[in-house]
Amino acid sequence: MRQDRRTRLGILFGGRSGEHEVSLTSAASVIAALDPEAYEIFAAGITPSGRIARPSELKGMLPVELFGRIRPLAAIGTEASVLRVASGAPEEAPPAVGGDGGPEIWFPLLHGPYGEDGTMQGLLEMAGLPYIGCGVLASAAAMDKDLAKRLLAQSGLPVTPSLTVFSRELETGLASVRERAERAWGYPMFSKPANLGSSVGVRKIRRREEFGDAVRDSARYDRKILIEKGIDGRELECAVLGNDDARASVVGEVISAGEFYDYASKYVSTESRLEIPARIDAATADEIRALALRAFAVLDGSGLARVDFFLDRASGGVWINEINTMPGFTPISMYAKLWAAAGVPFAELVRELIRLGLERFEERNSRRVSCG
Ligand SMILES: Nc1ncnc2c1ncn2[C@@H]1O[C@H](COP(=O)(O)OP(=O)(O)O)[C@@H](O)[C@H]1O
Ligand SMILES: [Mg+2]
C-alpha cells in the first residue's frame, strides 16, 4: 500500500473569544487554500463556550463545501483531543504526534483570549504537541498591551504613550488618572482594554466630559485598561515570519472607513482598504521593518506576528501600537497580503510556518530540563 505522504495538519479554530467569527473565517480560508494532495487536515472547532465541537456542530462553523477536505478531530477519537490532556491524564495522552495518524503539527488559528494569549499554547506544550506560532510567554506578553508596551519601551522601542489603570481604581481614582493624562498629553485620548482585539472596547475620548464613560466602557471588557495619547497618524503594519532568523515583509497601510479603525471599520464597512505597499518613503519603511523585527525579538516571538504602527502625520515619527501574534489569517488579510507582496504566496506561507513550528519544537526538545 502506498504511504500517505501528506502533512497532517491540525487546525484549532473558533474559540471562546469575541473574535470567534474572525477565526472561523481564517480557518475556512486556510482549509480552502491548502492542496488536499499535500495536506490531510484535522479540524478541531472550539465552541464559544470552550468545548471541542462535535462533528455535527462543525457544520455551523465551516462552509459545507469544505467538509470533504477535513477530518473532524473525532476521527482520531474524541479521546485524542487536547482536551484529554487538559482533563489531567497526560500519560494516557493520545498518540497524536508522528506516525500514528494524528496531526503532526497544530495550527492554533485562534484570535484573542483563550487562543492567541498563551493559554492554548500552554495546553499544546503540556500535551507535547508541536504547534505553529509564538510560544506561551510571547503570546501572553503580546496579548497584554500594557505588558507588551513595558517590555518594548524598556528596550528603547517607541510605543504610544499610555497610562495603565485597573478597574478597581475607577471608583475612587478616575479623576486623578484623568488629570495625569490631561497633564501628560491632553485630548484626544484613547481608552482600551489591555487584553482584547478587533477594537472591542476601544474608545476615542475627544474631551473631558467623555472620559469617565469611555474608561468605564473599556473596563467592561478587562480589569486592566490603557489610556493612551491619541495619535493623529497613518496606520502601518508589517508582517514578521521566522524564528531566530525572522524576516520582515513590506509595509502596508490600513485606510479606515471610520474616524478610527473600530470594529465596524474592520469587519462591517466595505470602505476600509489596505494599501500594499504603503506609500511611504524608503527610509520610513526600513525603520518600520527594523522596529518590527526588534519588537518580535524583544518578546521572543516565533513563527509569525504582525506589528502595527502609527506614523505621526505632524512629526513623521513612528510609534509601535501593538503586536498581534495570531493576526487575521486569510489570503486577503493584511498578514498574507504583505507576504504575497514580498513574493511568498499563501500556500508557501503555511508551509513555512509548519517548518518553523517543527523547528521550534525540536529545538525545545533538544534542550536539557535538568543538570542530570
Ligand atoms: N493611541 C491611539 N491613537 C490613535 N488611534 C488609536 C490609538 N489607539 C487605538 N487607536 C485606534 O483604534 C484601533 C484599535 O486599537 P488597537 O489598540 O489596535 O486595538 P485592537 O487590538 O483591538 O486592534 C487602532 O487600529 C486605531 O485606529
Ligand atoms: Mg489593532
pLDDT reported for residue 369: 74
Is there a domain that residue 141 lies in? Answer: no
pLDDT reported for residue 84: 47
User: pLDDT band at 368, cuts 50/70/90?
Assistant: confident
When pLDDT is averaged across residues 56-63 and rounded to a whole number, the result is: 88
**Residue 73 cell numbers, joined:** 478531530
Q: Is 104 in the pocket of ligand 1 (CB under 6 A)?
A: no
Domain closes at, from 229, 259, 274: 229
Q: State how far the Cα of 288 lies from the Cα of 225, in Å rounded to an integer.
A: 26
When pLDDT is averaged across residues 119-123 and rounded to a whole number, the result is: 91
The domain total for the chain is: 3
Calculate how far, in angstroms, residue 261's C-alpha sits from the geometric centre of ligand 1.
Answer: 7
Q: State how far the Cα of 230 lies from the Cα of 235, in Å rounded to an integer.
A: 13
Indicate whether 187 and 245 sit together in one domain. Answer: no
Ligand in closest contact with the CA of 312: 1
pLDDT reported for residue 90: 44
Q: Whose CA is nearest to atom 9 of ligand 1?
A: 190
- Closest ligand 1 atom to residue 265 Cα is 27
Q: What range does the domain containing 55 cover?
A: 7-131
Give Cβ neighbours of residue 106 (< 8 Å, ≥ 6 apart).
9, 10, 11, 12, 44, 82, 124, 129, 130, 131, 132
When pLDDT is averaged across residues 268-285 and rounded to a whole number, the result is: 90
250 to 240, 247, 290, 320, 341: CA distances (angstroms)? 10, 10, 11, 16, 7
When pLDDT is averaged across residues 78-104 and rounded to a whole number, the result is: 50
Q: State how far the Cα of 117 lies from the Cα of 113, in Å rounded to an integer.
A: 5
Indicate whether 330 and 267 sit together in one domain. Answer: yes
Is there a domain that residue 201 lies in? Answer: yes
Is there a domain that residue 86 lies in? Answer: yes
Q: Is 146 in the pocket of ligand 1 (CB under 6 A)?
A: no
pLDDT reported for residue 362: 92
Indicate whether 51 and 81 sit together in one domain. Answer: yes
Higher pLDDT, 129 or 160: 160
272 to 11, 170, 329: CA distances (angstroms)? 29, 34, 17
Q: Is 296 in the pocket of ligand 1 (CB under 6 A)?
A: no
Q: Is 309 in the pocket of ligand 1 (CB under 6 A)?
A: no
Q: Is the pLDDT of residue 75 over 90?
A: no
3-state secondary structure of 88: coil
Domain closes at, from 83, 110, 131: 131
Is there a domain that residue 36 lies in? Answer: yes
When pLDDT is averaged across residues 277-294 and rounded to a whole number, the result is: 98
Most confident region among 34-38, 270-274, 322-326, 330-334 by mean pLDDT: 322-326
Q: Is the pLDDT of residue 185 over 60?
A: yes
User: pLDDT band at 77, cuts 50/70/90?
Assistant: very low
Ligand in closest contact with the CA of 233: 1
User: pLDDT band at 264, cuts 50/70/90?
Assistant: confident
Indicate whether 247 and 283 sit together in one domain. Answer: yes
Calculate how far, in angstroms, residue 191's C-alpha sits from the geometric centre of ligand 1.
Answer: 9
Calculate how far, in angstroms, residue 191's C-alpha sits from the geometric centre of ligand 2.
Answer: 13
Ligand in closest contact with the CA of 257: 1
Q: What percent of the chain has pLDDT over 70?
A: 90
Calculate how far, in angstroms, residue 136's C-alpha sits from the geometric centre of ligand 2.
Answer: 20
When pLDDT is averaged across residues 36-51 and rounded to a whole number, the result is: 89
Higher pLDDT, 6 or 159: 159
Q: Where is average pLDDT lowest: 38-52, 137-151, 172-186?
A: 38-52
CATH number for 297: 3.30.470.20
User: pLDDT band at 51, cuts 50/70/90?
Assistant: confident
Q: Is 335 in the pocket of ligand 1 (CB under 6 A)?
A: no
pLDDT reported for residue 74: 58
Q: State how far the Cα of 34 lies from the Cα of 347, in Å rounded to an integer.
A: 6
Q: What is the mean pLDDT of the chain?
A: 88
User: pLDDT band at 99, cuts 50/70/90?
Assistant: very low
CATH number for 41: 3.40.50.20
Nearest to 299, CA basis, from 130, 117, 127: 117
Calculate how far, in angstroms, residue 175's C-alpha sits from the geometric centre of ligand 1.
Answer: 23
pLDDT reported for residue 78: 44
Indicate whether 259 and 196 sit together in one domain. Answer: no
Is there a domain that residue 322 lies in? Answer: yes
pLDDT reported for residue 287: 98
Q: Is 199 in the pocket of ligand 1 (CB under 6 A)?
A: yes
Ligand in closest contact with the CA of 199: 1
Helix (H) or strand (E) holding 250: strand 247-255
Indicate whether 273 and 323 sit together in one domain. Answer: yes
Q: Is the pLDDT of residue 346 over 50?
A: yes
Q: Is 287 in the pocket of ligand 1 (CB under 6 A)?
A: no
Q: Whose CA is nearest to atom 1 of ligand 1?
A: 230
Q: Is the pLDDT of residue 178 over 80?
A: yes
- Closest ligand 1 atom to residue 254 Cα is 25
DSSP assignment of 35-73 equals -TTTEEEEEEEE-TTSPBPPHHHHTTTS-GGGGGGEEEG
Q: Is 203 in the pocket of ligand 1 (CB under 6 A)?
A: no
Q: Is 190 in the pocket of ligand 1 (CB under 6 A)?
A: yes
Q: Is the pLDDT of residue 256 over 90?
A: no
Calculate how far, in angstroms, residue 367's C-alpha sits from the geometric centre of ligand 2.
Answer: 35
Q: Is 224 in the pocket of ligand 1 (CB under 6 A)?
A: no
pLDDT reported for residue 100: 57
Calculate how far, in angstroms, residue 91's C-alpha sits from the geometric centre of ligand 2.
Answer: 40
Calculate how far, in angstroms, residue 263's C-alpha sits from the geometric centre of ligand 2.
Answer: 10
* Residue of 199, 237, 256, 319 to mutate, ligand 1, most atoms within 8 A of C-beta: 199
Q: Is the pLDDT of residue 275 over 70?
A: yes
